[in-house]
Amino acid sequence: MSLSRRSVLGVAAGAPLLTTSLSFRKARAQAQNTIRIGVLNDQSGVYRDLSGPGSTHCARYAVRESGITQAGVNVEVIEADHQNRPDVGSTVMRQWMDRDGVDVILDVPTSSVALAANTLVRERNKVFLCSGAATSDLTGPACSPNTIHWTYDTWMLANSTARAMVAAGGQTWFFVTADYAFGHALERDTTAFITAAGGRVLGSVRHPFPNTDFSSFLLQAQASRAQVIGLANAGADTTNAIKQAAEFGITRRGQRIAGLLVFITDVDALGIETAQGLVLSETFYWDLNDRTRAFTRNLGTMPGNIRPSMVQAGCYSAVLHYLKAVREMGVAAAKANGAEVVARMKAMPTDDQAFGQGSIRADGRKLHPAYLFQVKTPQESSGRWDYYRLLGETPADRAFRPMAEGGCALVRS
Amino acid sequence: MDMIFGVPAPLLFGQLVLGLINGAFYAMLSLGLAVIFGLLNIINFTHGAQFMMGAFVAWMLLTYLGIGYWWALLIAPVVVGLSGIVIERLFISRLYKLDHLYGLLLTFGLGLIIEGTFRNLYGSSGLPYRIPPELTGAWDLGFMFLPVYRGWVVIVALLVCLATWLVIEKTPLGATLRAATENAALVQAFGINVPRLVTLTYGAGVGLAALAGVLAAPIYSVNPQMGANFIITVFAVVVIGGMGSILGSIVTGFVLGVVEGLTRVFYPELSSTVVFIIMAIVLLTRPAGLFGRA
């Protein structure tokens, strides 16, 4: 056999690297009057449908709605795949900001990549509008004058979902946690709520990210005899775990599953038969009110013909508000100083079709209400995407962690 | 409760059973790879995509044509196997005279194209596929709750592995195939159409991947990256078992499934890596693999 084993393995190990796809265009000459927004997210993996090309679609829609092009400002929206890996994401961002003149990094799901973006953007004094990532550290220890955390975070999820679960009698918990920054933050924030409400955490197990087979972890959760199994993961990891929990009869034996982060695209992937009854929290639902319905209609056909997730709606909302600030400051000033733009954004109230009226706090936290939903039964649902029934609303001033508790250096002095 | 190594015994037994189930998938996938490599000398990196296609064809049959699981078990491997035959005739057959790396790069590229196409058409979050009603429910084994469907997967995988091994090692057809591998020109001189034999073998190997895909569809969400999640581990299985060794890939598949399951109890964070650690050790001590002939 002439084939060397080492060459096979070399290619096997290098395989993920080859898939790196960078879809940026070269900077053009008229750079001075052009704002460049780089949408960095998962274009090929488990978080693609909830962010991915849909986020770019929403960002481009925000540019159109802002009318800034008619005012003589060029806005370019480009996108790239970070493959949920901080190293890949950092390489793209350095090229974007150092070579291609990108002014804003947008979206960035996967908390480990978002934390890298947070640092890189601050070093270069650009703007980071984070919609996709969850870790509440972005407005806590890692807060930055160049970052706004837009759509949701781990504290808000715990505050909404875990509080409701404990109130409904779920006193003992076991976590199945994605083993990276996001999972750890979600587990930590949820644990704080459970213990504060008098509940107990019996244990947790950390699974590799991404992961396909959850049966082993679920069996450990089952053996713990906890009343609630908290899934501190997201995307296809969550849907696989929920699907397999049903298969192993975990819910039939009296344990409840708490999907701590479930997106509408996940509910669609599970199918309403499997997902019915699931309690979850989001800050945006396309069928929430007249404005969100109008927003969804105006978006036109989304890539993959899905309804927008809260992450994608957040990209729209963030870009719209950013462009308002740019318009006030002028393009040259906005390009020169990212922190200045962010300060201007914080000073103005927000208002858009997806999230309604809101504001941005000094620590970079965007404030809007959080909604507790339950997935409808197949009988209640009128068809695909008619998935949620509203259970409750946490008003904007109580939906997110109080500024004093976050430990953000920007607000301490 | 009895404890073994500080772990409750029921939990440990449960993990052993789950390990066998995962091992069944590893065994079926690595079997297809071993057959293709053994007879064609092609390292089929499209295998993960073909596994995924099997699941997708099952989903399409149900969604567009109303054809259920049982027929999908038959139809999906045939459909995907035929697509494999087309690929072999159009592309792979041109590479037999070149270095292995060309075949590897070609199949890897094809795999990416297929996955990308499905991703563009169906998104990445996955599609629901329900367990057939005949196989829902679960057995209470005392120490764990075993879904009937998972038991079914293990039985099917064992039967398929056994049948494939018998065909290749014990039948005249298998003897011809093995002879063609050793010396194609000589076998051709006996009046046997070797290129056709090779094409059909590739189709059969691909069909095995698709069958595993159909079996996986009700358990995992049917999504374009489901094969990519498996394939790297499966390659490690093939390497540990010995490239091209049928028996090696079957036994190694099941054993590594169990090892991985146990790792999930004792040190969960290591569970995605343990297979590769074993691979490194095997390569250092037995470079031809556990069952391979150097």
Q: Is A208–B271 a contact, with Cβ atoms under 8 angstroms apart?
A: yes
Q: Chain B contacts of A213, Cβ < 8 Å? A: 18, 22, 220
ipTM of predicted assembly, 2 dp: 0.79
Q: Is A5 on the interface with B (CB under 8 A)?
A: yes
DSSP notation for A246-294 = HHTTTTTTT-EEEESS--HHHHHHH-HHHHTT-EEEES--TTSSHHHHH
Task: Pick B125's closest partner by Cβ from A11, A212, A266.
Answer: A266
The rounded percent of chain A whose pLDDT value lies above 90 is 74
Tell me the pLDDT band of B291, cut-offs 50, 70 and 90.
confident
Q: What is the mean pLDDT of chain B?
A: 89
Q: Is A207 on the interface with B (CB under 8 A)?
A: yes
Judged by DSSP in three states, A380 sits in: coil
Lowest mean pLDDT among A76-85, A292-301, B5-14: B5-14
Whether the per-residue pLDDT at A261 is higher than 70: the answer is yes
Distance CA A323, CA A326 (A): 5
Whether the per-residue pLDDT at A331 is higher than 80: the answer is yes
Interface test with B, best of A218, A243, A272, A305 (most B CBs within 10 A): A243
Query: Are the CB atoms for A288 and B184 separated by under 8 Å?
Result: no
Say what the pLDDT of residue A19 is: 39
Ordered by start, the domain boundaries in chain B are 3-128+147-285
Say what the pLDDT of residue A298 is: 96
Interface test with A, best of B41, B43, B124, B152 (most A CBs within 10 A): B124
The residues of chain A that CATH labels 3.40.50.2300 are 24-152+289-368, 155-282+369-399
Q: Is A348 on the interface with B (CB under 8 A)?
A: no
Tell me the pLDDT band of A375, cut-offs 50, 70 and 90.
very high
Whether the per-residue pLDDT at A32 is higher than 90: the answer is no
Segment A8-27 shows an average pLDDT of 44
* CATH code, A24-152+289-368: 3.40.50.2300
- One CATH from 3.40.50.720, 3.40.50.2300, 3.40.800.10, 3.40.50.620 for A155-282+369-399: 3.40.50.2300
Q: What is the mean pLDDT of chain A?
A: 90
pLDDT tens digit string along B198-232?
899 999 999 999 999 999 999 887 989 888 878 88
Q: Is A207–B43 a contact, with Cβ atoms under 8 angstroms apart?
A: no
Tell me the longest C-alpha to C-alpha distance in chain A. 70
Comparing CA positions, the residue from B136, B130, B146 lying closest to residue B221 is: B130
Tell me the pLDDT band of A1, cut-offs 50, 70 and 90.
very low
Enter the tokens of residue B238.
């093939």
* CATH code, B3-128+147-285: 1.10.3470
pLDDT tens digit string along A339-359?
999 999 999 999 999 999 999
Segment B135-145 shows an average pLDDT of 81
